[in-house]
Amino acid sequence: MSKEIEDKLEKIPIINLLVIFGKKIKIPGLEGMSLYDVIEMYIIGILKGALTTRAGGIAFSFFMAVFPFLLFILTLIPYIPIEGFQEGLFSFIKEILPPQTFDAVDVVLKDIINNQYGGLLSFGFLLSIFLMTNGVNAIFGGFEHSYHITDVRNVFRAYFISLGVSLLMSLFLIVTITTLILYQVALSKIDETGWLDTGDLDLFLLGKNVVFLVMIFTIVSLLFRYGTKQGKETKFFSAGAILTTVVSLCTFYLFGIYVVKFAQYNQLYGSIGTLLILMLFVWLNAIILLLGFELNAAIYALRFRNKIDSIL
């Protein structure tokens, strides 16, 4: 792609061999572009796209939107005819949060429940929708500041789409928790009949992990699809969505080990250390989300450039 970059890489031992090897691997769907071209474009986007700065902005806005989002879900609970939905929601939140952080979140959630304004038309409920939409809009804003994105939406259209995506994410979370509750009930019925001992096979844990995987992948694909105007060219099973999902799952596991074994936030900062852990967790996942998006954006930029070159 860039003659200047290629000339520099050719002077580095071993790296020059990897460049030659990468050029021989052609990526399907990119009109003959090679693996090297994708990697070069991807790295350029990361280095020139102020990745950590954008991740910091997303993490702050997303953190501010988390509790309004939960307020929105908790307000809907009385209208959801599923027994044990609130307990299922709390259990689900506890599973996805880093170790030692749920206690602080649990206090806030119980305070929200005890002080709800109630009703779908209350000021608190409408404010939660507004703040929740701001969080999603911040993510989309981080996408549009990519080095590879040049065509952006106007403010009003971007906010309207963010509102729609926020509601879709809320609906998907409700469906996910409902699925887990019904799945657990189904396993209990199977145990009662004596057909199968689901406890010995850890079927609930297996099913919960599968649902969690599907949830992450679907939400990421949804964000990539509607995050930018160019997102309409992104397929559901995109390279960026797969990368984000895999790295996120690894981060959940490794970050949990880090918090339990190595982190000393609570000893240094007391109870506020829990919030620092949560903020760090959100920031890391914001970086992972942007890394996945940059991969999709790099592929789109290559495909667009190839179409222009073929026309010329």
Rounded CA-CA distance 219/214 in Å is 9
Cβ-proximal residues to 291 (8 Å cutoff; 6+ apart), any chain:
46, 51, 243, 244, 247
CA atoms within 13 A on the CB side of 297: 27
Predicted local confidence at residue 265, as pLDDT: 60
Predicted local confidence at residue 7, as pLDDT: 60
pLDDT over 70 percentage in the chain? 72
| Residues 231-278: tens digit of each pLDDT | 777 788 888 888 889 888 888 888 777 777 766 665 656 666 677 777
Query: Among 2-11, 75-84, 130-139, which stretch is predicted with the lowest mean pLDDT?
Result: 2-11
Query: Among 49-58, 82-91, 154-163, 188-197, which stretch is predicted with the lowest mean pLDDT?
Result: 188-197
- Evaluate if residue 121 carries a pLDDT over 60: no
DSSP 98: P
CA atoms within 13 A on the CB side of 208: 15
Q: Rounded to the nearest 10 degrees, how much is the dihedral formed by the CA atoms of 221, 226, 229, 235?
A: 30
pTM score, whole prediction: 0.80
Rounded CA-CA distance 131/123 in Å is 12
Q: Are the CB atoms for 51 and 291 separated by under 8 Å?
A: yes
Predicted local confidence at residue 307, as pLDDT: 63
DSSP 27: P
